[in-house]
Amino acid sequence: MEKEDLTRYIKSEAIRLGFDICGIAKAEAVAEETAQRYNNWIGKGSHATMQYLERNCDKRFDPTLLVEGCKSIISVAMNYAPKQPIDGFADYAQGKDYHKIVKERLYRLLQSINDICPVQGRAFCDSAPVLERYWAVKAGIGYIGRNRQLIIPGKGSAFFLGELLVDIELCHDTPLSRDFCGSCRKCIESCPGGALSDNGLDANKCLSYLTIEHRGELPENIGKKMGNCFYGCDRCRTVCPHNRFSTPNTIPELQPSDTLRQMTMEKWQVLTKPEYKALFRHSAVERCGYEQLMRNINALEKEDKTE
Ligand code: SF4
Ligand code: SF4
């Protein structure tokens, strides 16, 4: 099959498998200025305690070292915008663990390619040293906004990103040629933690980081900044005008259970460990752990009591 036909086939298969958009980039070392910017960000400690971000930078900056012989990066995005937000709870976590959902569909895509052309490849979704947004930009899918999210023009930024690194030559897409933020600064101005600036994201101040990734005690007086956000924070996404184009996802595994949908702040406050386990079986929230989730909920409670 000609390279052009194979590329078209892969993109149509990606859509058939439930991805909203698919682009392709040449697998090669990232631009020097990208590596430099990343190293500066790490050097300033803006990654907080996420030490895994310091490791494997050789592979992070060159995907051909991560997957030997890879020639093309197939970059995909899957919509996670919910039908209804759940008060205080991150939209992305309403359904089953997205890492597995995206990777499983990427491996089905690999199988589809193998049906017509021999190919070796590996799939990733937030699971390896891959600069996901960089490759999505290179693959022409979107651009990185001031909120540091990948924004897909006409679709918004509520998307899981995934990559299939394959050992075949394909037609490569061209990055978008303009910045879609313009003079807007809504995300920076709305960030409750002051984590966003023109220099990027400081995870130390980000509520998503603090409520999901951060172990140990929360910073003092965080309750006020948290508002009702006890697991994640969606403010820099929901205020972004590009998300007015967002439509609810239709992936069955990403829908919340009836129990989760019916949770209220009163119910969260008295959640037991067995209830937590039942509620979040096969969910990304399992990694957070019951104690940490209750730590967050108690931080809200403390704030309520002092008001
Ligand atoms: S997730 Fe919340 S705290 Fe973090 S940068 Fe966005 S608005 Fe700020
Ligand atoms: S809120 Fe405005 S500045 Fe922030 S990412 Fe969206 S368009 Fe860009």
* pLDDT number for residue 166: 98
| Per-residue pLDDT reduced to its tens digit, 163-175 | 999 999 999 999 9
Q: Give, using CA atoms, the residue closest to atom 4 of ligand 1.
A: 206
**pLDDT bracket for residue 136 (50, 70, 90):** very high
Statement: residue 215 has pLDDT above 60: yes
Statement: residue 305 has pLDDT above 60: no
**pLDDT bracket for residue 61 (50, 70, 90):** very high
Residue 19: which residues within 8 A CB-CB, separation 6 or more? Answer: 76, 77, 78, 105, 162
**High-pLDDT (> 90) share of the chain, %:** 94
Statement: residue 307 has pLDDT above 70: no
Ligand 2, pocket-test mutation among 144, 184, 235, most atoms within 8 A of CB: 184
Ligand 2, pocket-test mutation among 137, 143, 146, most atoms within 8 A of CB: 146
Residue 81 Cα to ligand 2 midpoint, Å, equals 17
DSSP letter at 297? H
In ligand 2, which atom is closest to the CA atom of 196?
Answer: 4
Q: Cα separation of 45 and 202, whole Å? A: 8
Residue 192 Cα to ligand 2 midpoint, Å, equals 15
**pLDDT bracket for residue 301 (50, 70, 90):** low
Domain count along the chain: 1
C-alpha dist (Å) from residue 181 to 69, 199, 234, 240? 37, 15, 18, 9
* pLDDT number for residue 302: 55
* pLDDT number for residue 1: 82
Which residue has tokens 């590009």?
A: 242
* Whole-prediction pTM: 0.95
Range of the domain at 244: 1-307
Q: Give, using CA atoms, the residue closest to atom 2 of ligand 2.
A: 184
Residue 270: φ, ψ to 5° = -115, 20
**pLDDT bracket for residue 306 (50, 70, 90):** very low
Q: Give, using CA atoms, the residue closest to atom 7 of ligand 2.
A: 181
